[in-house]
Amino acid sequence: MKIDATKCKTLMISIKPGTFCCNLLMKMNHHILCVKKVFRLSVKSGIALLFIQTIFSHENDRKIIFPDIQGYKTLKCDLHMHTVFSDGSVWPDIRVQEAVKDGIDAIAITEHIEYQPHKNDIPHPDRNRSHEVAKNALQEADDLLIINGSEITRRMPPGHSNAIFLDDANKLLTTDVMDVFEEAGKQHAFIFWNHPDWVAQAPDGVPPLDSIHHELIKKGLLHGIEIVNDLTYSDEALQIALDNDLTILGTSDIHGIVDWQYKIPEGGHRPVTLVFAREKTEESLKEALFDKRTVVWFNNTLIGRPQNLVPLIEACITVQDVQYYRDYLIARVSLINHSDVEFILRNTGEYRFDTYADVVNIMPNSVTQVGVKTLEKLDEFIMKFEVMNAVTAPAEHPEIIIRISTNQSE
Ligand SMILES: [Zn+2]
Ligand SMILES: [Zn+2]
């Protein structure tokens, strides 16, 4: 969710072909107001014709926006975080308030089960307490799922893992590491390998996949892997997910304050896992995670399996309007981006553009017009793009096809 005005809901009035956008930010009365000016410039006459302003407060602007995809709700989830009940710096209600401000649908509270540095100051014999405090902090208007979890905190191998959807975290306090996973399995938890590339446990940044991981996967006690944790991304973890049929996850693992860690006031965003669930319930979320229906959003990059990622991108970018003006043979295609992603698209289609070279940036939550030189007036044609800031496997980007009908208008 950037605040560079690209998230302003913009009203665009079409008078002449060809657009240039300029964005301004203004601070006024303790609100950051967003002003978008849209100038339309006639290619021939070179005259700016109009501008439109939209104004909104930053409080709404920081909410993470993604559309639903066909058949599923897109749940924005952050399933790894800490509070003072392990080694975090805040009380659990702050995690709730941060999530609500960010428009998150589900969080999991995942305190280290074994590592309790604040225990002398905050004694708490019940390891479910942090989850309970968070749940009690929910306000009536808050539409947030809070999942009970725990971070199994061990040396590598197997390193750290999260077990979420727990009934009772206390039962995970066991010496033998396999016993801990067995207990989480008994509680039908969803279990994933945390920050496998963490330099403290993997000095070269390469996840040290070990026989114990293979054993856990084989026993059905390891279901997912973080390919994104906090500020890091791992190609190798993505490859491990694909090779071992694991769910792809990205989490903040926040210990401090999300605004500071991800520079949210300056337009940053926390990493989230987008989960495609039938309904917004704990049961549906769990079913979707076990079924691997996820895409990670990290640092303006989308990462996921093609069957999840391509439908998401297709839901994000739709055609608003297509027109040929007068007798010109250039189709003016207006594309709406319904998400917070600034898409970086490389043209792999048949036709050249008159408004861009081969790379087109589709700005978040706004309309981008592309002039397509179809050489003759066509009723229908296809635009094809490689999505450069989307990843389906290491160094692989998905291709999207946009079908254009010249009678089309959203
Ligand atoms: Zn950890
Ligand atoms: Zn953690």
Secondary structure letter of residue 409 according to DSSP? B
Token match 């308030």: residue? 97
How many Å lie between the centroid of ligand 1 and the Cα of residue 161? 7
The per-residue pLDDT for 60 is 63
- Residues lining ion ligand 2 (Cβ < 5 A) are 151, 253
Is residue 245 included in any domain, yes or no?
A: yes
In a shared domain, residues 27 and 107: no
Domain count, the chain: 3
Residue 62: what pLDDT?
94
Looking at the fold, whether 15 and 149 belong to one and the same domain comes out as no
Do 53 and 74 belong together in one domain? no
Asked if 103 contacts 76 with a C-beta cutoff of 8 angstroms, the reply is: yes
Q: Which pLDDT does position 410 carry in this prediction?
A: 61
Examine the domain organization and report whether 267 and 384 are in the same domain. no
Residues 145, 239 within the same domain: yes
What's the rounded Cα separation, in Å, for the pair 251 and 253?
A: 6
Q: Both 136 and 222 in a single domain?
A: yes
Of 234, 268, 299, the domain-final residue: 299
**Cβ distance 312 to 353 under 8 Å?**
no
Residue where one domain finishes, among candidates 299, 326, 349: 299
Q: Residues of the chain whose pLDDT is less than 50?
A: 1-58
**Is the same domain home to 22 and 145?**
no
Nearest ligand, measured from the Cα of 156: 1
Q: Which ligand is nearest to the CA of 159?
A: 1
Task: Read off the CATH number of the domain in which 375 is found.
Answer: 2.60.40
Nearest ligand, CA 160 = 1
CA distances from 349 to 155, 185, 346, 355 (A): 50, 48, 9, 15
Q: Give me ligand 2 centre to Cα 306, in Å.
A: 28
pLDDT recorded at residue 406: 87
* Containing structural domain, residue 325: 317-405
CA distances (Å), origin 255, targets 79, 80, 104, 107, 280: 13, 10, 17, 14, 26
- 189 and 128 in one domain? yes
| Same domain assignment for residues 323 and 341 | yes
Q: Are residues 78 and 49 in the same domain?
A: no
One domain for residues 112 and 238: yes
Ligand 1 centroid to residue 288 C-alpha, Å: 24
290 burial level (CB within 10 Å; 0-12, 13-18, 19+): middle
| Ligand of minimum distance to the alpha carbon of 108 | 2
Residue 48 and residue 13 in one domain: yes
- Closest ligand relative to 251 C-alpha: 2
Kindly give the pairing relationship between strand 106-112 and strand 380-387. Answer: unpaired
- Domain-located, residue 132: yes
